[in-house]
Structure 1
Amino acid sequence: MNYFLKPAFLLSPLALAMSLSAQAETVDLDTVTVSADFRQTDVQSIPEAVTVVTDTQIEQRSAEHLEQILSFAPNVNFSSGSSRGRYFQIRGIGERSQFIDPVNPSVGLMIDGIDMTGLGGAATLLDIEQVEILRGPQGTRFGANALAGMINIQSKAPTKETEGFVAAKAGNYGTHGQSGAISGGLTDNVQGRLAVSSFKTDGYMENDFLDKDNTNNIDEVVLRGKLAAQLSDKTDLNFTYFYTDIDNGYDAFSLDNNRITYSDNPGIDAQESHSFALELNSKLSDAVSFETSIATTKADVEYSYDEDWAFGQYTFLPDEPEYQADPCDTTQGPCLADFDGYSSFDQYLRDYQRDSLDLRLLSGENGRIFADTTDWVAGIYYFNRDESLKRNYTFADGQYRSDLVVSSLSLYGELNTQLNDRLNLIYGLRAEQWNNDFDDTNAIESDETETLWGGKATLEYLLDSANLVYGSLARGYKAGGVNTDPDISESNRTFDTEYNNTVELGLKSSLLDDKLQTRVATFYIQRKDQQVKSSYAVQNDDNSITFQDYLANAAEGKNYGLELEANWQATDKLAAQLSAGYLETEFVDYSFETDDGEFNKDGRAQAHAPEYSLAAAVNYRLTDQFSVVVENEAKDEFYFSDSHDEKSTSYVLWHARLVFAQGPFEASLYGRNLTDQDQEVRGFGGFGNDPRNGYADDRYVQLGEPRLVGIEGKYSF
């Protein structure tokens, strides 16, 4: 399908919606509130680009993890290279992996007020109320971890009335899952909620060498407990405990770029984490309110893989590969040993400890300043991140260890001035003192302190009761750091802070008597001292591969584009959604050197930045009991890396769900990627890893989900 037909092909669910729209009485859309703002605000009223994915949309997609719903947001992508897509990019900005180096992320991840940035494996979707995706730098609200934007996951709150559910699912590839939640009042002023889930699948790869189909499996257990207490009429206390036990396999790359692997020592992608959050909200008077939150996370993470993707004695027969015991029978085909092959395993064990404290004052009804025209927020934020790494690698002389301690202290404030009945000016600033202390077993040390600042100024104008237009200028930042590779030059040992200056214009409209909501945004980003990961492979004499990895500052980058979202409640039976993003990215004055010479990437697009991304959905209630959802999503090709020119292929995916609901019981039949389209979620180039062709340079990709079908049952009470 050619480039121009794909977007039109994607819109076919909306064409179906239009043809059905006159069949029943219309109803209004529900109000959707964004909780990530300083003050909870309707998504149609907040003057910035925000996508809110509701619990209904999560259920319609039968999604278990954040990676499966990101297509609802325009110009948002993810990178895998693991069992889950746990690295995120917004408007072309974001990390794609983490190996030996410490990483300061560009996209923040908050789960129930707990900073889980860089721990994307924990972004499961058990008992979630909504997922908020804020696009653009969040320099005032979140600081250094939100250069490109922020993802805020909010689970369901405790309720006074008893409610809950039990649910189960089963599908192909050995998929099965169970989940449940119960919520209700414990006393007159205390409510609790407990949710737990277990999800397992064999994964979508077959390991021919080990004769197993579960070496890339998913095995995830999640538990969440929440308490809400009303200490008085003016003071609320909330507590959250969040536990994840992720024990996934990692055997995702094939020498043949398909779903068949030959690894003799498959890897692991595991995370066990305990997270706590305590929030206190108190209305001190009619003039001022006080909010505070304390959060802590302890996580143990393993990421390991079979680096050679094969094994030492392997014969490839003409039609299919078969294992041959030693000695290798070379009469039936080329043996891996004939190519002087290598075998290696790489393991990264990380321990995380994170602690944060946020203290905030907000103006009340009688606390406005500047002639009673201006609401205000002022706060102080402390964050500490302690990250230790142990690396065990076949070709290393011994175990590599490193320790990173990051501490940050921020002061922030925001003013919202009503200039007249229709015009508001919102302006905020954040100053952050950032300390980065690092040392490792290679005697590389760094102890740097810098003062960072960012903020935002927004002018919003209410055209009429249904249309809000806004323009903003924002500055975000991502702290500099140190490169740990002992072989790089000292001139590349450290890299500087990156700044992101963004201009955004938007229009939010509620049309057709609030049956249709639209959000349009256009943006231009100037990336100053852009941090770019340069990674190239060096083929050793034994055919093993050494990667030279380091972060450097490109002179500048440009990212600009357009985003459209629409929610249409056409009738009481029919609803439709559309998300569309257009993105252009460019390097300015970026080059790097390898053993093969100098490479210049001026004018080239940045990695994981597809030019278009689209998603559409139609939900139609066939009868009082039956409803059907049809969805599709599309994504343009994109570069896998900033250091080589291998690209993904573009794709269109189709999903559907048929639901039967009778009283408290619901049963559904679901399918994702119904046409079994290959989607490439991570890729490499510039090196060879296949002994059959003498380790010639090649292109290697990891494939995303194939066709998945299953059944679900849910009982709510």
Structure 2
Amino acid sequence: MKTRIGIYAPSLIAIGLALSLPVIADETPDKEIETIVVKGELLPTTAQNAANSIDVLNKEALEKSGAAHIQDVLQQVGNINYSSGSSRARFFQIRGIGERSQFVDPVNPSVGVAIDRIDYSEMANAATLFDIDQVEVFKGPQGTNVGANAMAGFINLSSTETGSGQEGKVRMSLGNYGFQQFAAAYGGDLGNKAQYRVSVNKVDGDGYIENTYLDRKDTNGFDELSIRAMFDVEVNRDWLLKAVVHKFDIDNGYDAFSLDLNRTTLSDEPGFDKQDTTAIALTNTYQGFTFADVKLFLSTSDSDLDYGFDEDWSYQGIAPYDPINDPDGEYAEYSSVDHYFRKREANQIDLRLSSKDKDWVLGLYTNNKNVELTRHFLDWDLWADATFSSDYKVVNTALYGEKRFALSSSITVAAGLRVENYKGDYSDNNGIVESTNDNMWGGHFTASKQYDDEFLAYFRLSRGFKAGGVNGEALSKLNDSNSQQFYFELREHANFKPETLTNIELGLKYSSAKNKLNAVATLFYSTRDDMQIKQSLTNPPATGSNDGPTFIGYLLNVPAGSNYGVETTVNYQLTSDVKVFAGLSYLETEISNIDRIEKHPDTGEKYRVIISVREQAHAPKYQFNLGTNWQITDSVSLDVSVTGKDEFFYSYSHDEKADAVVLANASLTYKGDMFDVTLWGRNLTDEEYGVRGFYFGNDPRDGYTPKNYEQFGEPSVVGIKVDYVF
């Protein structure tokens, strides 16, 4: 096993590089410095002065690559990964921590997602990027400002603000694989007391799969409509009212896994991945009191989330019964589809008091969420429709606060605390009724020193948490004849406890006064207690049976895990026309004492395997990006970049891995008086890389031999984007 010093050697080298660059930072003319305000913090904070690990992607960074969805730009951010198993990435991992899927059971996310402060955790299909002004990726526990949905981190998207000071835009984009985008955004003033902005975005595409059985290329395609509207009203001198309205109508296909382990499928009943969300939020800010300002945030959202797939990934007749060569029916096929229909309703209330000089905040938060699931499992061979339904009600209430102290002109300390009660009530049509009631706490203590106007160092100790829950699917299978062999395993894991994450972080931030160099280096060490991990029990169809394979997922706690590493970014103005940038993240993860059930390939006997000292799932050891921006003329610029990440394990229930990958990207932009034109390309060398993986047998042509089935990320995609700006 590596020593701790050996593990950190690359990290220390990277930090040394980031800190050695400032000695050459004073050789450029003065240039106006952009100030980026972080909107996901409780108190006003700029990105440069935040004693927290935050990556901010501005509108320019989001648009130059032709990105339509948040998953298209996350390669730019270190130590963040995502899993698919759907049309768009909905589950994210920060520093190796985060969920990877959702099927039957409710999910309590480790990484939260918000759009204009409305909670979209578990619903990131809606994270489309047109007219998004800023994306903030918080790394590490956000136990004070967010709470239960941000044990590992938090992704915060903010729309372009209202008013006539913002540009209007009409966009048309075209690309390969049938990609089309038509969008428009416009805002203005309604008298001298109100402002508004509205954006409409429509994205269509065939996807990157060819279904050769149906002779179609759109079974994994995109059909996405996003509408966001914002209104600001100055009711009087002290009272500002902000209203936000969201409408997302997403009707995507889902047909991604291939029996032939490539981008061609054989499904006769392709799946779907749909989301229909209407959300409204109101923010009331009142500044008329002498002792504090008051901010009241209210939101409600109503979503229909439909997800389904062809479970056998094939068609009836792909391996017909052969009484001569296969008299025992070992290769007999099955046929089934699995459909999930969720109705999700959520209501948030967040009341905050903050001091006039913005050095303390006190808040009360409550979130009521109700998720109703109806699952139809259709077996075409038996003409059976196994319907499962469940209801999950959650009420979480929190009291939180943060205080900043200026110990001197250069030293600031801050402390935050959040106490949260998370109550969940679960019931289903199998008679399972379970409740959880967890009292949890999180927070942070930070100390920062501003050595001068350019250099900041900080220390942060933080704690995050995630609620426990019920393994409804495991409980529902206790009396299933196909699952009797797993009875004791399922009974043992009926529910699971909360998890906590404790993080120690050292950060260094440099920004030259002349804005030639910006560098950030962060060293972190996290420990996970009562770590929640996803396990699966799988079993191929029995000989001679037309039933599908057994696949049961559940969460369990293991005593501990650890995640530690480094993150560095450097932006350097090489000349007046050329800017270079680089990022390197290094991550070590460890988990021990996991046990799982495996089947001997020769004897078929099942036995328990103990995993000792293994990396965590979806946690690549390194990630990097390297690129340049060349301002060729006043109107034309070229961006070229490469991003890459190491191999990583797909799951804890098996040891299959995604391969390491390096992706090349480029864009050429012309900015005119009224028209902007961008030629863009991602994955220009057409690398094949996995974004979700399973290990089991599903192909009747080879007797259901277990193998690693992967969903691949996007291939080489190119396009042109034309914006009319006014």
Report the more deviating stretch, 306-315 or 590-599.
590-599
Matches within 5 A, 1:54-93: 54-93=58-97
Which stretch of the first structure deviates more once superposed, 523-532 or 540-549? Answer: 540-549
CA distance in 2 between partners of 1:570 and 1:32 (Å): 22
Specify which of 551, 557, 582 is matched with residue 555 of structure 2.
551
Counterpart CA distance in 2 for 1:512 and 1:190 is 37
Q: Which amino acid aligns with 1:392?
A: H
CA distance in 2, matches of 1:593, 1:530: 19
CA shift in 2, pair 1:305/1:666, >3 Å:
same
Within 1, Cα distance between the matches of 2:194 and 2:88? Answer: 37
Q: CA deviation at 1:233?
A: 2.7
Q: Deviations over 1:501-549 (max 9, x none)?
A: 1111111111363321111111111100000111131123126211121
Within the alignment, does 1:669 sit opposite 2:679 as a pair?
Answer: yes
Amino acid at match of 2:335: S
Q: CA deviation at 1:666?
A: 1.1
* Residues 183, 202 of structure 2: 8 Å contact kept: yes
* Mean Cα deviation higher: 591-600 or 534-543: 591-600
Cα distance in 1, alignment partners of residues 513 and 195 from structure 2: 39
Tell me which amino acid in the other structure corresponds to 2:505: E
Q: Is 2:201 the partner of 1:197? A: yes
- Letter paired with 1:346: D
In the other structure, the counterpart of 1:506 is 507
2:625 aligned with 1:615, yes or no?
yes
What is the RMSD of the two structures over their aligned residues, measured on CA atoms? 2.5
Residue by residue over 1:168-194, the C-alpha shift from the partner in whole angstroms, topping out at 9 and shown as x without a partner, is 011111111100011000111100101
Deviation at 1:696, TM superposition (A): 0.6
- For residues 216-259 of structure 1, give each alpha carbon's deviation from its aligned partner in whole angstroms, at most 9, with x where no partner exists: 00110110111011222332111100111110000000112111
Give the aligned partner of residue 102 of structure 1.
106
> Shift of the alpha carbon at 1:71?
1.6
Shift of residue 78, structure 1, vs aligned partner: 0.4
Q: 2:587 aligns with which of 570, 577, 583?
A: 583
Retained in 1: the 8 A contact 2:318–2:701? no
The letter of the residue matching 1:538 is N
Aligned counterpart for 1:430 among listed residues 394, 418, 435:
418
The answer to whether the 8 A contact 2:518-2:570 is kept is yes
Contact 2:169 2:184 (C-alpha < 8 Å) held by counterparts: yes
Does 2:463 match 1:475?
A: yes
Whether 1:465 aligns to 2:474 is no
Separation in 1, partners of 2:442, 2:634: 52
Matches within 5 A, 1:242-257: 242-257=246-261
Most deviating of 417-426 and 703-712:
417-426
Query: Secondary structure of 1:252's partner?
Result: coil
Match in the other structure for 1:321: none
Tell whether 2:571 aligns with 1:567: yes
Give the 3-state SS of the residue equivalent to 2:48 in structure 1: coil
2:363 equivalent to 1:363: no
Tell me the CA shift for residue 28 of structure 1.
4.2
Matched-pair contact (CA < 8 Å) for 1:501–1:527 = yes
Aligned residue type for 1:642 = Y
User: SS of the counterpart of 1:490?
Assistant: helix
* Number of the residue aligned with 2:291: 287
Are residue 515 (structure 1) and residue 516 (structure 2) matched? yes
Q: Deviations over 1:77-135 (max 9, x none)?
A: 00000011111000000000000011101001110010111111111112010000000
Q: In the aligned structure 2, how far is the partner of 1:240 from the partner of 1:459?
A: 35
Corresponding residue SS for 1:398: strand
Q: Kindly state the Cα deviation for residue 72 of structure 1 after the two structures are TM-superposed.
A: 1.9
Classify 1:519/1:393 alpha carbon distance in 2 versus 1 (closer, same or farther; 3 Å).
same
- Which among 704, 708, 712 is matched to residue 695 of structure 1? 704
What is the aligned partner in structure 1 of residue 648 from structure 2?
638
The correspondence of residues 296-315 of structure 1 with structure 2, limited to 5 A, is: 296-314=300-318
Query: Deviation at 1:23?
Result: 12
C-alpha deviation, 1:161, in angstroms: 4.2
Query: What code does the residue aligned with 1:283 have?
Result: Q
Q: 1:195 to 1:564 in 2, by over 3 A?
A: same
Given the alignment of the two structures, is residue 125 of structure 1 paired with residue 105 of structure 2, yes or no? no
Q: Deviations over 1:293-349 (max 9, x none)?
A: 00111100111000111111137xxxxxxxxxxx99999x999x9821111100000
Counterpart AA for 2:294: F
- For these two proteins, the number of residue pairs brought into alignment is 681
Q: Letter of the aligned partner of 1:311 in structure 2?
A: Y
CA contact (8 A) 1:27 1:571 kept: no
Tell me the amino acid that sits aligned with residue 697 of structure 2: G
Aligned to 2:21: none
d(CA) in 2 for partners of 1:398 and 1:651?
A: 41
Alpha-carbon distance in 2 for matches of 1:437, 1:714: 49
Alignment check: 8 A CA contact 1:431 1:453 kept: yes
CA distance in 2, matches of 1:549, 1:329: 33
Alignment of 1:676-691 (within 5 A): 676-685=686-695, 687-691=696-700
- Residue in structure 2 matched with residue 711 of structure 1 by the alignment: 720
The residue number in structure 2 matching 1:371 is none
What are structure 2's unaligned runs of at least 5 residues?
A: 1-9, 12-17, 19-24, 479-486, 600-605
Give, in whole Å, the separation in 1 of the partners of 2:596 and 2:709: 22
**C-alpha distance in 1 between matches for 2:369 and 2:464:** 20
1:625 matched to 2:644? The reply is: no
What SS does the corresponding residue of 1:182 show, helix, strand or coil?
strand
Letter in 2 for 1:715: Y
Tell me which residue corresponds to 1:17: none
Aligned to 2:178: 174
Give the corresponding residue for 1:442. Answer: 430
Q: Provide Cα deviations, 1:246-284, integer angstroms capped at 9, x if missing partner.
A: 100000001121111000000000101001111111223
Question: C-alpha separation between the residues in 1 aligned to 2:30 and 2:577?
Answer: 8
CA contact (8 A) 1:240 1:277 kept: yes
Shift of 1:481: 0.4
Of the three residues 377, 387, 398, the one matched with 1:393 is 377
Q: Distance in 2 between matches of 1:665 and 1:40?
A: 35
Q: Secondary structure at the match of 2:539?
A: strand
Q: Does 1:339 align with 2:343?
A: no
Mark the CA change 1:700 to 1:421 in structure 2 (over 3 Å): closer, same or farther: same
Query: Which of 236, 239, 245 is 1:235 aligned to?
Result: 239
* C-alpha distance in structure 1 between counterparts of 2:167 and 2:513, whole Å: 35
Deviates more, 1:576-585 or 1:138-147: 576-585
2:26 and 2:516 in contact (8 A); partners too: no
Correspondence for 1:495: 496
CA distance in 2, matches of 1:123, 1:134: 16
Q: Separation in 2 of the partners of 1:175 and 1:638?
A: 30
- Shift in Å, 1:583: 0.4
SS of 2:141's equivalent? coil
Q: What is the alpha-carbon distance in structure 1 between the residues aligned to residue 630 and residue 33 of structure 2?
A: 15
Choose from 364, 375, 378 the match for 1:380: 364
Cα pair distance change 1:23/1:329, threshold 3 Å: farther
The answer to whether 1:350 aligns with 2:342 is yes
Q: Which structure 1 segments of 5+ residues have no match? A: 1-5, 8-13, 15-20, 316-326, 369-374
What secondary structure sits across from 2:365 in the alignment? strand
Q: Does 1:597 align with 2:607?
A: yes
The separation in 1 between residues aligned to 2:26 and 2:360, in whole angstroms, is 46
